[in-house]
Amino acid sequence: MAQTYTALIQYADGWWIGSVQEISGINCQERTKDQLLVSIRSALKDILELNRQEASRRIKSGYEAVSISI
């Protein structure tokens, strides 16, 4: 199932800037709106993968993985 996130975007001083509402640390800036959305998607994929890798390291050190839904 695909997860949906909210990109908060704004045009200011010749740049499109944006972040992801649900995940801190994803901030992007591009000249066009389309480029910004590509950058945000890429950054979101990267941070989710890094979080998965960190979680995998924790599992190896004694944590248990349990699926949850909200």
Q: Enumerate the domain spans of the chain.
A: 7-55
Q: What is the pLDDT of residue 56?
A: 86
Q: Given this model, what pLDDT does residue 69 score?
A: 82
pLDDT tens digits, 8-28: 999 999 999 999 999 999 999
Quick one: how far is CA 30 from the chain centroid?
Answer: 16
Comparing C-alpha atoms, which of 49, 69, 2, 30 is closest to residue 19? 30
What local confidence, expressed as pLDDT, does residue 1 receive?
64
Average confidence (pLDDT) per 10 residues, the chain, 70 residues: 91 98 96 98 96 86 80
Candidates 47, 45, 49, 17; CA nearest to 33 is 17
- Whether pTM > 0.75 for this model: the answer is yes
